Amino acid sequence: MTTQTTETPSAPVNKDGNAKGLIGLPENVGRALATAGGVLAIVSTFLAWTWTSEFPGDLTVTGYPGGLQVLVLIGGALTALFGLASYGVPGLGWLTPAGADSALKLASLGTFTTAWYTVIAITVELGGIVNLEPGGYIVAIVTLAGVLGAFSLPFVRPEPDPIDPDDTGWEQSKHNARHKWTVFKASIASGTPSKAPTLPAFAEILVIVAAMAVGLIVFTYGIGTEYDEQFVGFLIIVGFGFAALAKAGLVARVSAITGKHRTITMFGAFIAAALFPFTQSDDQYATIGVYILIFATVALGLNIVVGLAGLLDLGYVAFLGVGAYTAAMVSGSPSSPFDVHLPFWLSAILGAAVAMVFGVLIGAPTLRLRGDYLAIVTLGFGEIFRITVLNMDGTSGPDITNGSNGISSIPNLNILGFDFGAEHTFLGFTIARFANYFLLMLLITLIVVVVFQRSSDSRIGRAWIAIREDETAALAMGINGFRVKLIAFALGASLAGLAGAVQAHVTYTVTPEQYQFAHVVPPNSAFLLAAVVLGGMGTIAGPLVGAALLYLIPAKLQFLGDYQLFAFGLALVLLMRFRPEGLIPNRRRQLEFHEEAEAPTVLGKTGA
């Protein structure tokens, strides 16, 4: 049967010159085995996997998946979907523009890994394989058969069609033209000439709504995992699922649609995030949500400095501290040396302004340095800030920051009569303190996103990118490198100060140890930089996703104890090995790490 694919063979090949897989099964048998494995994995989740409810999630119920069974069900559904798409089932071709075989391999591998992780965990925790019910044996066998069938399929390399959401309309039209020509040639070869499928505007908007809904569901599920085994399974299935969707070309296709409707996408993302507190029954997970937003907002500000301007800043968390301390001092705290209680909007502006002044004061004498030298200077600034506020306790220095005790008892915000420290009921939903601050921080994040987007699309943004790519060439073209870098430094610092003003009220207390270069609990300079690099430098969504992962993973890996940082570091090494351009990269950065990708015809607005 003919498969719907735009993939081309890579290696290895058999004696006839055709591509082959790792397992010596006929291609049609392997495809059927992989698809059937996904379907049977779904069926197995409706059976009991163990006889006792001592294993978390209660996997003893027949007819109702629970706990890790739900994750295996999702993996099985993806595997079956890609298996049917590989057969050319009508209607599924749009979901796999780059071909389904590679996605089928990853989906089946993710399902297999999650299922076997669950079976092994049951065996180890309950004391033997005897604790498995028939459903446990069935899921182990069918997922193993499915992954063997998937890896008997030929190894092929998809013809890339990534479209950068940051591209101009002219660039996107060039990419679209090349994609249509590729599809047209493939259709001619198959004897059925056609054009690349397109969607009407309302359908594209529905795709954006669906993407936002899926994102909200995944985030809510991940943040609400109740036990360690469930979170590990969540990471496995999300990682393999995202990789499968990327291999299928669906991620690139959705990115192209969201890039075409930027305003709708931003509005939809804001609405989806605003709905998160209303999905929670208490403040337990809203607490994590508000800290993730603080971390993500600061990471987005750092993305201006590192991602756009290419300046390696290792002391960026100090600007967050400047904003937090400034807001704490003027917000009516009894620990503050100033008997001042300014309204929030004024304290937030003051925190951003003071942080910007510090950014200019630090950047003015140091931004003539480049590379590692600049990194060392900024690292020193971060430590100087921490030691300075630690010594301003009235003994080693002036009594301003209260030393190691910090500024405590920062009152809750009260904006236009709305008390952020009290519970409020909206349309039958009750949201508590951290949910209130989550919505406020979401508004701050929206402001930072708009500032980032407008800055990156402006003339100064193009100058930042030129400096990042080749400072010497940019200077030769007449760009004032020092002024451009100083603006980036000052803008990034002010955004961090704005987030710090909210952080001071959320945490009640600001202390020097919150602003170290590296410690277990983010945000800190090391985690902020990792969030930018992991998520995708120079993009909006990248640092937001990277920050969410880097905050959520350590918070959920507490069960590892002393091995927590080791496991976390190992995970980062693996991610950088297999996704060095970041989880959500722009096209230019993606081309730097993948030589097989198609070189762009147009590199920028200037055509160079």
Q: How many domains does the chain have?
A: 2
175 lies in some domain = no
pLDDT at residue 46 in the model: 95
Strand partners, 158: 7
The size of the chain, in residues, is: 608
Q: How far apart are CA 7 and CA 152, in angstroms?
A: 16
- Which H or E run includes 431? strand 429-431
Contact 104, 219 (CB under 8 A): no
Residues 338, 237 within the same domain: no
Strand partners, 9: 156
> Of 215, 342, 297, which Cα lies nearest the Cα of 551?
297
365 lies in some domain = yes
pLDDT at residue 197 in the model: 56
Q: How far apart are CA 215 and CA 230, in angstroms?
A: 18
556 lies in some domain = no
Helices (H), 61-133: 68-86, 101-126
Residues 326, 238 within the same domain: no
pLDDT at residue 313 in the model: 86
Residues 253, 370 within the same domain: no
Which of residues 544, 563, 580 is at a domain's end? Answer: 544
Q: CA of 321: how far to CAs of 44, 327, 498, 524, in Å?
A: 52, 10, 10, 10
pLDDT at residue 156 in the model: 58
119 lies in some domain = yes
pLDDT at residue 21 in the model: 58
pLDDT at residue 229 in the model: 87
Gyration radius from the chain CA atoms: 26
pLDDT at residue 519 in the model: 65
Residues 353, 479 within the same domain: yes
- Residue 67 sits at φ, ψ, to 5 deg, of 60, -125
CA 521 to chain centre: 18
Contact 114, 233 (CB under 8 A): yes
Helices (H) and strands (E) in the chain, counts: 21, 6
| Interval 386-400: pLDDT, tens | 899 988 887 877 888
Residues 214, 300 within the same domain: no
Contact 583, 536 (CB under 8 A): yes
Which of residues 544, 571, 598 is at a domain's end? Answer: 544
pLDDT at residue 354 in the model: 94
pLDDT at residue 522 in the model: 66
| Interval 531-543: pLDDT, tens | 888 888 888 888 8
439 lies in some domain = yes
Residues 351, 219 within the same domain: no
Residues 293, 255 within the same domain: no
Residues 226, 374 within the same domain: no
Show the domain range for 461. Answer: 289-408+433-544
**Residue 458 class from Cβ within 10 Å (0-12 exposed, 13-18 middle, 19+ buried)?**
exposed
476 lies in some domain = yes
Contact 310, 565 (CB under 8 A): no
pLDDT at residue 194 in the model: 40
Residues 364, 246 within the same domain: no
Q: How far apart are CA 580 and CA 578, in angstroms?
A: 6
**ω into residue 65 within 30 of 0, thus cis?**
no
pLDDT at residue 12 in the model: 52
CA 473 to chain centre: 33
pTM of the model: 0.79
AA identity, residue 171: E
AA identity, residue 279: T
Which of residues 215, 239, 259 is at a domain's end? Answer: 259
Residues 317, 253 within the same domain: no
423 lies in some domain = no
AA identity, residue 187: S
Residues 210, 68 within the same domain: yes
pLDDT at residue 351 in the model: 92
For the chain, list residues with pLDDT below 70: 1-24, 155-197, 518-522, 587-608
**Residue 55 class from Cβ within 10 Å (0-12 exposed, 13-18 middle, 19+ buried)?**
buried
pLDDT at residue 75 in the model: 94
232 lies in some domain = yes
Residues 294, 249 within the same domain: no
